[in-house]
Homo-oligomer: A and B are copies of this chain.
Amino acid sequence: MRNKIYVLKFGGTSIANIKRINYVANRIYSYVKKGYGLVVVVSAMGDTTDNLIRLARKINPCPSEREIDMLISTGEQISVSLLAMALHKRKLDAISLVGHQVGIITDTKHTKAKILKIKTERIKKEVNEGKVVIVAGFQGMTAHNEITTLGRGGSDLSAVAIAVSLNARMCEIYTDVEGVYTADPRIVPAARKIKRITFDEMLELASRGAQVMQTRAIEVAKRFNIPLYVRSSFNKKEGTTIMGKIPYIEEPMVRGITLMENEIKITIRNVPDKPGIAAYIFTQLASGDINVDMIVQNISHKHTTDISFTIPKSSINKVRKISSRVIKRIGAESVVTDENIAKVSVVGVGMKTHPGVAAKCFHALAKNKINIEMISTSEISISCVVKKKMGKKALRILHKTFGLGKLSG
């Protein structure tokens, strides 16, 4: 049985200024009046983190990651104290806590630390005294009292991890969108808000471009089966529940479609077709911390083959350096990069039991003269790389093809 505790998380845009902080304080007030135990996790206000990093780089273009953590963890410390003051103004008992006070213990990997343990004594004590506990998201401390941060989107992870460690009833993620959509509504006007979605589907959507929540946070929620509720901090409309199993009568085949436009396709040409070569290439990339996504090995001609893969745009310099070393070592011909790509992905657990999804997807694109350059599939998703200028069109076509629009219910 879960505790009667709600964990709420408010992102940077949700508390970007005083007006927004007051709005959030009013939202929190309504939970307190319902008698819930409340832990509120907040990010830094608006662009604070980016601004601090910019300031740091003016002083040192390559600042130490330890000092970056020392610097940027102040952002959340400012927001927790201001939100506590806003709650005090409303005669609510509230207390702010930063990472070292809560006891969010992490490993020592500065700027991308992993949470090892959360000590719950302090939070529980304050909640039991009837206080709203405001916790600085994104930050933790090592066993040796060093300040760490959890990487981009880390406040989501803080919220989920705290919800897990408190055995909270629910973790609500207040953000600047109203929930999870069948596709990005800015590109697909017919996109529909999804009422309920499984962790697995959400993970696929998130890792394929849906920027609703941090992927690591969803993984943790899945592992401990803590339901998440994603909703807007700007209005009171219903959001999206992310949960383990949805009791459908008939499972929809496809839950949502995503588009990613910030990847680059790398092709290594004329790779000698010998065992162990691909393993070598991707081990080298992995050791450079490169997040390789789709990998396709083309049909080999004679004794060589082409290997293509996609990477985030931000990794391009690292990848160029590693690849040029790698091709010399393995005797490949050249490295070709192609920024002119977009990736559309179709996601849904229903695919497991509906074998026709891939065919339907390829057919719809072909009928609309959209050429597919790469394909990769998982149990619950199909991704196609197309020319960049075709990306948005492909998204809209697939959204319609699988009947996800408002009119098609």
A78 to B60 alpha-carbon distance, docked (Å): 14
A21 to B63 alpha-carbon distance, docked (Å): 15
A150 at the interface (CB under 8 A from B): no
Which of the residues B58, B85, B95 comes within 8 Å of A59, measured between beta carbons? Answer: B85
Q: A101 to chain B: which residues have CB within 8 Å?
A: 145-147
Query: In the complex, are the beta carbons of B60 and A81 less than 8 A apart?
Result: no
Which of the residues B63, B78, B146 comes within 8 Å of A74, measured between beta carbons? Answer: B78
A313 at the interface (CB under 8 A from B): no
Known contacts A60-B88, A88-B60; decide if A71 and B82 are in contact (CB<8 Å).
yes
Q: A64 to chain B: which residues have CB within 8 Å?
A: 84-85, 88
Query: In the complex, are the beta carbons of A67 and B55 less than 8 A apart?
Result: no
**Shortest CB distance A5–B (Å):** 22
* Main secondary structure on A side of the interface with B: helix
**Interface size bracket, A side:** 35 or more
Interface residues of A in 31-59 (CB under 8 A from B): 52, 55-56, 58-59
Q: In the complex, what residue of chain B is closest to A52 when comparing beta carbons?
A: B78
Q: A52 to chain B: which residues have CB within 8 Å?
A: 78
A327 at the interface (CB under 8 A from B): no
A100 to B99 alpha-carbon distance, docked (Å): 12
Query: In the complex, are the beta carbons of A96 and B67 less than 8 A apart?
Result: yes
A262 at the interface (CB under 8 A from B): no
Known contacts A70-B77, A81-B71, A84-B64; decide if A59 and B145 are in contact (CB<8 Å).
no
A80 at the interface (CB under 8 A from B): yes
Q: A22 to chain B: which residues have CB within 8 Å?
A: 59
A64 to B91 alpha-carbon distance, docked (Å): 12
Query: In the complex, are the beta carbons of A84 and B67 less than 8 A apart?
Result: yes
Which of the residues B68, B74, B77, B89 comes within 8 Å of A60, measured between beta carbons? Answer: B89
A187 at the interface (CB under 8 A from B): no
Q: In the complex, what residue of chain B is closest to A78 when comparing beta carbons?
A: B74
Query: In the complex, are the beta carbons of B100 and A81 less than 8 A apart?
Result: no
A18 to B55 alpha-carbon distance, docked (Å): 8
Q: In the complex, what residue of chain B is closest to A21 when comparing beta carbons?
A: B59
**Shortest CB distance A127–B (Å):** 17
Q: A73 to chain B: which residues have CB within 8 Å?
A: 77
Chain copies in the assembled complex: 2
1/0 per residue, CB under 8 A from B, across A4-39: the answer is 000000000000001001100000000000000000
Query: In the complex, are the beta carbons of B80 and A60 less than 8 A apart?
Result: no
A157 at the interface (CB under 8 A from B): no
A86 at the interface (CB under 8 A from B): yes
A98 at the interface (CB under 8 A from B): yes
Interface residues of A in 94-108 (CB under 8 A from B): 95-96, 98, 100-101
Which of the residues B56, B60, B88 comes within 8 Å of A67, measured between beta carbons? Answer: B88
Q: A70 to chain B: which residues have CB within 8 Å?
A: 77, 80-81, 84, 96, 98
Q: A78 to chain B: which residues have CB within 8 Å?
A: 52, 71, 74
Q: In the complex, what residue of chain B is closest to A84 when comparing beta carbons?
A: B67
Query: In the complex, are the beta carbons of A18 and B85 less than 8 A apart?
Result: no
Which of the residues B18, B67, B77 comes within 8 Å of A81, measured between beta carbons? Answer: B67
Additional A-B contact list (18), CB under 8 Å, known A22-B59, A56-B82, A60-B88? A18-B58, A21-B59, A52-B78, A56-B81, A59-B82, A59-B86, A60-B89, A66-B95, A67-B85, A67-B88, A67-B96, A68-B81, A71-B81, A71-B82, A74-B77, A77-B77, A98-B147, A101-B146
- Residues of chain A touching chain B, judged by Cβ–Cβ distance below 8 Å, are 18, 21-22, 52, 55-56, 58-60, 63-64, 66-68, 70-71, 73-74, 77-78, 80-82, 84-86, 88-89, 95-96, 98, 100-101, 145-147
22 contacts between A and B (CB under 8 A): A18-B55, A55-B82, A56-B81, A59-B82, A59-B85, A59-B89, A60-B85, A60-B86, A60-B88, A67-B81, A67-B96, A70-B77, A70-B96, A70-B98, A71-B77, A71-B78, A71-B81, A73-B77, A74-B77, A77-B77, A100-B100, A101-B145
